[in-house]
Amino acid sequence: MSLAAEIQTELERAEAARTAGNAGRARVCARRAAGMAAGDFLTRHQVWPFNTAQGEFHKSSVYETLQLLASFPSLAPDLKQAAIHMTMRVDEEFHLPLGIDLVDEAYKIIRGLK
């Protein structure tokens, strides 16, 4: 399966979970989709998966990949903010701050990194 197909599958899972009222599952799928796009972007820019200082391969988690994307120097501010939102933790009641929808943020990242 191609990377684009894998990303699309995760987005479809995120949408289905959101529609079913399973916000936690929607967040996980959205993060996974955005993380795949971020990993591809960082690889194309020779940032990830290689530690350029030592030339070593490094396999990152989706969370680490999105954090690395958020710190990418020339990333557009709206994409940087979306990546920051993707790495936010939920509160004690499993909610993100009002107005943050990780499925929408994933779409923004995926479209913006093409």
Which residues are CB-neighbours of 46 under 8 A, at least 6 positions away?
Answer: 52
pLDDT at 95: 78
C-alpha distances in angstroms, 77 versus 28, 87, 93? 23, 16, 29
**b/e code 48-66 from CB counts within 10 Å (16+ = b):** beeeeeeeeeeebebebbb
Instruction: Please give the tally of structural domains in the chain.
Output: 1
Question: Residue 25: exposed, middle, or buried by beta-carbon count in 10 A (0-12, 13-18, 19+)?
Answer: middle
Domain region containing 9: 3-112
As given in the structure block, the two tokens for residue 57 are: 């391969």
pLDDT at 96: 78
Q: 41-60, pLDDT tens digit by residue?
A: 998 887 766 555 554 445 57
pTM of the model: 0.86
Query: Cα(21)–Cα(32) distance, rounded to whole angstroms?
Result: 18
- The proportion of the chain whose per-residue pLDDT surpasses 70, expressed as a percent, equals 89
**CATH number for the domain that contains residue 55:** 1.20.120
Please name every residue paired with 51 in a beta bridge, in sequence order, or none if there are none.
56
